[in-house]
Amino acid sequence: MSEEKYEGLLPRFLKYVKTETRSNPDSKTIPSDPKETAFLNELKAELISLGLSDVHINPQSSYLVATIPSNIDKDVPTVGFIAHIDTADFNAHNVNPQIVEDYDGESDIKLDKDGQYVSEFPSLKKYQGNTLITTDGSTLLGADDKSGVAEIVTMAAYLMAHPEIKHGAIKIGLGPDEEIGTGADHFDVKDFGSDFAYTVDGGPLGELEYETFNAAQAEIEIQGKDVHTGVAKGTMINAIQVAIDLQNSLPAHDRAERTDGRQGFYHLYKFDGTVDHVSMTYLIRDHDKQTFIERKHLLERVVAGLNNELGADLVTMNLYDQYYNLKDALKDHMEVVEIAKKAMENLDIKPDIYPVRGGTDGSTISYKGLPTPNLFAGGENMHSRYEYVSLQTMERALDTLLEIVRLTAEEDK
C-alpha cells in the first residue's frame, strides 16, 4: 500500500507544470490571467472525479475549495492544506521537464543544446540516489508551487480511495496570484471553513516556516526638468541625479545583497528613467515590526528632504504595506506549528525552522484569522531555469500531510 500512496504523484506533477499559469502583475482581474482560471477549472473537474465534496471556486477569491468529509464519529479540528497554482515572473511557456533517475550527486545535468549545466549548485549533493525533475533550460519548472498542488491532490486521491484511514474533515484550497502578492488578499476564511491550515509552498525537505518578513513596497516618481546642457545651470533638474541622491540617502549596508538572517533591507527593485522623469520601486523588509516602521519613516523623511531641497513636490511616493510577520499572527497558536513538527519527527524528518527572508500566503491568511504556517514542498532554485525538485522529497511531503491528518484526528476540538 505504501507504493500505492505515491501513485499519480509524478504524472500529476508533470501534467501540472506543462500547463502554463503564469500570473500577470499588470492585471486588475481576479485571477490575473485567464490561463489560471482555465487550470483551476481543470483541477475542479479532477477533484469532483475523485469524489470530494462541496467543490467550488469562490467568487470572491477565485480559490478552488473542496472538502474531504470526516469519516470518524467524534468532533475533531478541521485541517486545511493550501497551495498556489500560478508561477513566477520568468518564462513559463512550453515547460518541458526532464527526469534524471538515480542522480549520483555530482554529475553535470545538461539542460539544453547550448550546454547549460546545473552541477554548480551545492544543493544537488543532497540528492544522491534521488529522481530529479529539472527544466530543459529555457523555462522555469513550476515546482513553486505545483509540487504543493500535486502533493495535496495526491493526498486527497489516496484518502478518498482508502476510507479505512480514519480522519476528520479536511479542506483543500488551491489559489491564484501568489507570485504577484495579491492572491491571499481575497482569501475567504469563512468559506474555507477550517480551524487551522498549512500552505504547502516551501522548499527542501523539512522546511517548517512560521517567521517571515514584514513587507512594504514604495513606488516613487521623480519629475525632472530637461533643458539643453549648455544652459542647464540653475534650470535643469536631472531626475536621474535626484534618484541617485535618494538611493545614497539610505543606509548602504541595508541592501538585500549585504544582509542575511533577520537583517532587514531596502531593495531597489525597479528603475527606469531619463533626465526628465524617473520611476523607482523599492521593497522594504524587516522581521522586527518596530524597525520595519522606522524603515518606512526614514524613506518618507528622505523624500520630504529632497522635495524641500528642490523647492517643489517633484518626488512623489506611494508607500503601502504588503504583508506582516507570520510569527506575530501565530504567537497564540503555536500548537499548529507543533503538530507539523511532531508529524515530521514521527517520520524521521528533521524540521528545518528558520526566519524566512520573504513571505508566504500564510502570512496574509493568518492575519485574516486562520493560523497557517508553511510546509516544505520540495522545490530548489525556484523562479529560474535552474529550478528542480526531488521526487523523493515530494513523496516525503505527501507523507507529512497524511501524518498531520492522522495527528489531527487524535485531537479534541
Confidence at residue 141, expressed as pLDDT on a 0 to 100 scale: 96
Which three cell numbers mark 379?
Answer: 522545490
Do residues 402 and 158 touch, judged by C-beta distance below 8 A? yes
Quote the percentage of the chain above a pLDDT of 90. Answer: 90
- pLDDT at 325 exceeding the cut of 50: yes
Cβ atoms 298, 306 nearer than 8 A: no
Its CATH architecture, for the domain 2-211+325-409, is 3-Layer(aba) Sandwich (3.40)
* CB 262 within 8 Å of CB 355: yes
What residues contact 312, with CB distance under 8 A and at least 6 apart? Answer: none
Mean pLDDT of 98-107: 92
pLDDT surpassing 80 at residue 112: no
Coil, strand or helix at 239: helix
CB–CB of 84/179 below 8 Å? yes
β-pairing, 265-273 with 277-286? Answer: antiparallel
Q: Which residues are catalytic?
A: 86, 178
**pLDDT of the residue at 11:** 97
Q: 3-class SS at 125?
A: helix
Question: How confident is the model over 28-80, as pLDDT tens digits?
Answer: 999 999 999 999 999 999 999 999 999 999 999 999 999 999 999 999 999 99
Could you give the C-alpha distances from 152 to 145, 162, 230, 349, in angstroms and in order? Answer: 11, 15, 66, 19
Average pLDDT for 210-232:
96
Which residue type sits at 331?
K
State the pLDDT at residue 181: 86
| Average pLDDT value for residue range 367-374 | 96
Work out the mean pLDDT of the chain and round it to a whole number. Answer: 95
The secondary structure of residue 138, as a DSSP letter, is S
Contact 98, 135 (CB under 8 A): yes
Considering the chain, what percentage of its residues have pLDDT values greater than 70?
A: 98
The beta strands (E) that lie in 51-188 are given as 53-57, 64-68, 79-84, 98-100, 132-134, 170-175
Q: Quick check: 195 pLDDT over 90?
A: yes
As assigned by CATH, the class of the 214-323 domain is alpha beta
8 Å CB contact between 373 and 198: yes
CATH 3.40.630.10 in the chain: give the residue spans: 2-211+325-409
Is 90 exceeded by the pLDDT of residue 121? no
The CA distances from residue 349 to 41, 97, 334, 390, in Å, are: 35, 27, 19, 15
Please count the CA atoms within 13 angstroms of the CA of 261 that sit on its side-chain side: 2
Distance CA 305, CA 192 (A): 47
Residue 152's H or E segment, with its range, is helix 143-161
Residue extent(s) of CATH 3.30.70.360 domains in the chain: 214-323
Q: Is the peptide bond before 245 cis (omega within 30 degrees of 0)?
A: no
**Would you tell me how many other CB atoms lie within 10 Å of the CB of residue 374?**
26
Residue that wins the pLDDT comparison between 138 and 340: 340
Residue 1 has pLDDT above 60, yes or no: no
Q: How far apart are CA 216 and CA 6, in angstroms?
A: 40
**Is residue 115 very low, low, confident or very high in pLDDT (cuts 50, 70, 90)?**
low
Predicted confidence band at 119 (pLDDT cuts at 50, 70, 90)?
Answer: low
Q: What confidence score (pLDDT) does residue 2 get?
A: 56
Checking if the pLDDT of 110 tops 70, the result is: yes
Residue type, 335: E
